[in-house]
Amino acid sequence: MRLKPKSLQGRLLFGILASLTVTLALGGVVIYRVVDSHLREEFDSALEEKLRFYETTFSLREGMPKWNMGTAEWKRVSDPANPDYVQFWFLPQGKFFFRSPGLQGTDLPRAPVQDGGYFFSDILLFGKTPARLVSREFVPNQIGVDEPVKVQIAIARHTGQLQAALDQVRWFLIKTAFCTTLVLMGATRWIVRRGVRPVSALAGQIEAMPLVDSDLRFGLPGAPTEIQPVVGRLNALMDRVGAAIEHERMFTSNAAHELRNPLAAIRSRVELALSRTRSVEEYEETLDGILESQNGMQRVVDHLLLLARLESGHQVSEFSQEAVSLSKLLRKAWRPTFDRASERRLKVVWQVEEPASDIIIPVALIEIVLRNLFDNAAAYTPEGGQIIIRAEARGNQARISVSNTNPGLTEQILESTFSPFWRGDPNASGHRGNAGIGLALVRRIMETMEGKASATLAEGMVVYTLHFPVRPVTDPSPVPPVQGPAPSPPSSSPGSVSRADAAPARTAAPNAERVS
């Protein structure tokens, strides 16, 4: 398989090979330097030993130099393939008095030596051949000489053999590095391909996954532990996507169902009215029924549009903030529900603790929330049952609760009442004029306001409670989000009432109760 430089496998392979190549190159350079230094040290040591040997073969007798080595001995100690080049000088005049035959009349460089120390240097013999030279001054064995005479000796040798040995080492290192790189390349490619195989398998599963909703999930048995969380997250994401698609499908189906019923009612009324000639009163009754169905459709559409706006990320700051009295707000929101509550003979108790000043809130949103809560309570409270409305605002927090006689809800299904189009009776449609999206809208508005909507069961009552941030008119700071526990509910108990009340009284005393 051809590797792509931008693929994960290609990047890993190229990165590892580049690192190994650099490491091998640096290692080869270090090894070569160490071998070079060691061989040169040995070469210099050999030159130094040879120089000391030649010193022992020289002496002065009555001022005349004497070379104690014949031609035969010279040939034995000097390698013809790599001969020694030796030269002596008298000090301090610097006049030479002996040089080896191999120099062919050419002088060796006279090094500046002193105190018997050794001086090493690289030179060119005959102006072209690289060589190594060592030199020093010494006092030879002297006989019949009044004052000691110092002599300087220099010995040079070609470095060709040394350089050839270094060349062999260099080429050996290069060949070794090349062969090692080839072996490592194959091994690295095999390791990398084996290591990324789970990633490739996962990529293949992702590519083969159908774009439509599917029950298929990702699975990599035996995958490395680093890949397992990715697989788990992908499967969790698929579950969420599937749930979202199913939710969207049900939402669309229910919305179409809710709009189809009033349209069918309108059609039936129109067909019935046109079936024969009728009186003006009968036509007016038909038009009133059509208008009522249209109003119901309009509420459903308005709620769906607002819910869609909130779901798409609209913020509460986009809605107008107004100052309002808490009791007036409740009275205005209750007014459309009054007739239904009266018809069903519901007992309504108001417990409103009016704050010292008006509060600043997104009035339009809170009115929608309250109307939906009131409408839900009036529609589902058993006939002759009770509704308790509590409200208070303390500091920067407000709490409103609407309790009604339990129509048969249980703890297990209580949270489901906040789901769009949910009803206790799945066969019901538009039951009591409700489309089933009011409480879903209530919770979404509360979340947008950084508040909270919850439902509980207490003493035979279903209690829907709102906690949301407010700002008193006297406070110039922005409305804060809900933090910590909400204000506690009033402690007073509801009194007996004879009918539904159209409006709460505006009270200044805490825990005031309006009974009618």
In a domain, 176, yes or no: no
- The continuous run of DSSP H or E covering 308 comes out as helix 280-311
Same domain, 134 and 157: yes
pLDDT more than 90, % of the chain: 26
The yes-or-no verdict on residue 434 having pLDDT over 60 is: no
In a domain, 33, yes or no: yes
In a domain, 205, yes or no: no
More confident residue, 40 or 274: 40
Same domain, 64 and 152: yes
Same domain, 285 and 232: yes
Q: Is 253 exposed, middle or buried (0-12, 13-18, 19+ CB in 10 A)?
A: exposed
Q: Which of 260, 279, 311 is the last residue of a domain?
A: 311
Residue-wise over 238-249: b if at least 16 C-beta within 10 A, else e? beeeeeeeeeee
The yes-or-no verdict on residue 484 having pLDDT over 80 is: no
Same domain, 373 and 401: yes
The yes-or-no verdict on residue 412 having pLDDT over 80 is: yes
Same domain, 296 and 324: no
In a domain, 180, yes or no: no
Domain that holds residue 279: 228-311
Task: For residue 62, give both structure tokens.
Answer: 């009555």
pTM of this prediction? 0.48
Same domain, 15 and 115: yes
Same domain, 153 and 237: no
Same domain, 330 and 278: no
Tell me phi and psi for residue 465, to 5 degrees: -120, 135
In a domain, 57, yes or no: yes
Cβ proximity of 513 and 350 under 8 Å = yes
Tell me phi and psi for residue 158, to 5 degrees: -60, 145
In a domain, 121, yes or no: yes
Same domain, 305 and 331: no
Domain count, the chain: 3
Candidates 356, 402, 363, 350; CA nearest to 381 is 402
DSSP state of 434: -
In a domain, 199, yes or no: no
CATH code at position 453: 3.30.565.10
Q: Side-chain half-sphere of 94: how many Cα atoms within 13 Å?
A: 7
CATH code at position 89: 3.30.450
The pLDDT, as a whole number, for residue 205 is: 80
Tell me phi and psi for residue 280, to 5 degrees: -60, -40
The yes-or-no verdict on residue 514 having pLDDT over 60 is: no
Same domain, 257 and 303: yes
The pLDDT, as a whole number, for residue 13 is: 81
Q: Which of 147, 166, 185 is the last residue of a domain?
A: 166
Same domain, 467 and 334: yes
Q: Which of 311, 329, 349 is the last residue of a domain?
A: 311
Tell me which range, 58-67, 352-361, 411-420, 427-436, is most confidently predicted by mean pLDDT: 352-361
Q: Side-chain half-sphere of 498: how many Cα atoms within 13 Å?
A: 1
In a domain, 29, yes or no: yes
CATH code at position 267: 1.10.287.130
More confident residue, 182 or 216: 182
Same domain, 479 and 370: yes
Please state, in angstroms and rounded to a whole number, the distance separating the CA atoms of residues 516 and 501: 6
- Which residue shows structure tokens 């190229």? 14
